[in-house]
Amino acid sequence: MRRRAEPRLALIALGWSKNERALPKLVEVLEEENFGYWPRADACDAIARIGSPKAIPVLRKCLKSETFHALPNAFRALVALGDREAVPLAVARVGPEIEAYNSGSVVRELEKVTGQSFGFERQRWQEWWKSVESEWQIPEEFRKPWDQQPAVY
């Protein structure tokens, strides 16, 4: 059991370091499918805690990838980095096929950040986004440093 926890604790510690030099290792975890859900979720949270916009492209790539499942964490990391593009990217992954999985928590995070509630209905999310896209802003509470934001999940 201890061996499994050590890599995750290391990822969490990299986030707490708040040092951009940790980004290459965190990006490596995001890009390697063999790491699984929780290490990749921890890497997203660590990136958000570090707060470097340099990670935006890789987080966007994660949300677009059908093989990436730590959707709530990647979404919230992008939001924390001030990337409005997080919303349509997350919406594109919403659907009944993820409802029973950890990935499905992205809906709860979308609801938290946007104040909207469309469940797993991608079409309704997309219609809403289209209607507000030009003026929607990331709410103030999600523009604070990572540790001052509402918790993920």
Q: Tens digit of pLDDT for each residue in 63-82?
A: 999 999 999 999 999 999 99
CB–CB of 129/122 below 8 Å?
Answer: no
**pLDDT beyond 70 at 53:** yes
Residue 40 burial (CB < 10 Å; 0-12/13-18/19+)? Answer: buried
**pLDDT beyond 50 at 138:** yes
**pLDDT beyond 70 at 148:** yes
- At residue 81, what are phi and psi to the nearest 5 degrees? -85, 5
**Residue range 78-101, pLDDT digits in tens:** 999 999 999 999 999 999 999 999
Q: In angstroms, rounded to a whole number, what is the distance separating the alpha carbons of residues 102 and 80? A: 20
**pTM for the structure as a whole:** 0.94
**pLDDT beyond 70 at 51:** yes
**pLDDT beyond 90 at 3:** no
**pLDDT beyond 50 at 124:** yes
